[in-house]
Structure 1
Amino acid sequence: MSTTAETPLAAPRSGKLDPKYTRSKGGKGNFEMLAWLFMRVSGVILVVLLFTHLFTNLMVGDGISGIDFGFVAGKWAHPLWQFWDLALLWLAMLHGANGMRTIINDYAERDRVRFWLSMILYSATAAIIILGTLVIFTFDACMVDASGALMERSPAICR
């Protein structure tokens, strides 16, 4: 006795494949493969960036009690840490956005809903990346008052 099971990709009445699960010749399959590869590579890089970030902030020096405005100001005074935190920000946001894009594509059934959720995701990702980059590179630890004199709360690196 033999039984046949329908494949989940086939529509039972029309006999056509669901277009959501078919490969298009327009290069979308190549994009998905590159997105998949990006997730694996960025995940490995993020692990290194994150654990180094946590180690230098929490284990070296005074630990968590030493993290304050002056600590961040001293850290971002060095270009290495600016680019380190920038790489962490960009990779984490792009990695997370790519994962959310996949979830939206998998679970949003209507095209219109999928489109608007994707637009919200892309807008939020772009805004956070742009604002985070501006904060990292325009951060000035040396606070001055209206007369131009250095304020008392400015960290020691400003004096």
Structure 2
Amino acid sequence: METPRSPYKRNKPTRTNWELYGWLFMRMSGLVLIVLVFGHLFVNLMMGEGIHQIDWGFVAGKWASPFWQTWDLLMLWLAQLHGTNGVRTVINDYAERDATRFWLKMALYVATVIVIVVGTLVIFTFDPCADPSQTFSFCTAR
């Protein structure tokens, strides 16, 4: 029996160290996410009327600006990829059988792709001016 602190031995050598890249990504994306999330919370909750201002019109006004679309898109992508990498690490640590590990990670990756694609589509195809009953100052006459 090997000692508990002995390093994990792979069956085949690899040329890249994906775990190192995953570790570095978690640290860098975590720092960027702190800025993105606290900026998001500050603008949505501290400026203006606070939580009472958040409604469909508020989101429509924010997403009329490419800056806020990009901000929210970056926050969505980084949060999703950061969380996926964390769950992937947990699966690698706790799934004992190779087949279980494979299928859990495949389910994780499929869910990640679905959330990223749908979230990106919502951010970029959202058109608050499409409903004629809603009139906002940023909507131009059609």
- Normalised TM-score (structure 1): 0.81
In the alignment, which residue of structure 1 is the partner of 2:14?
Answer: 26
In the alignment, which residue of structure 2 is the partner of 1:73?
Answer: 60
Per-residue deviation, 1:26: 1.4
Matched, 1:137 2:124: yes
Structure 2 letter corresponding to 1:98: N
In the alignment, which residue of structure 1 is the partner of 2:136?
Answer: 155
1:89 is aligned, of 36, 57, 76, to: 76
CA distance in 2, matches of 1:111, 1:139: 42
Matched, 1:7 2:3: yes
Highest relative contact order (Cα 8 Å, sep 6+), 1 or 2?
2
Q: Which has the larger radius of gyration?
A: 1
- Normalised TM-score (structure 2): 0.90
CA distance in 2, matches of 1:8, 1:154: 66
CA distance in 2, matches of 1:116, 1:154: 48
CA distance in 1, matches of 2:62, 2:27: 29
Structure 2 letter corresponding to 1:70: G
In the alignment, which residue of structure 1 is the partner of 2:98?
Answer: 111
Deviations 1:31-77 (A, max 9, x none): 11000000000000000000000000000111101001110011011
Identity of aligned residues (%): 60
Per-residue deviation, 1:121: 0.2
Deviations 1:121-147 (A, max 9, x none): 000000000000000000000133xxx
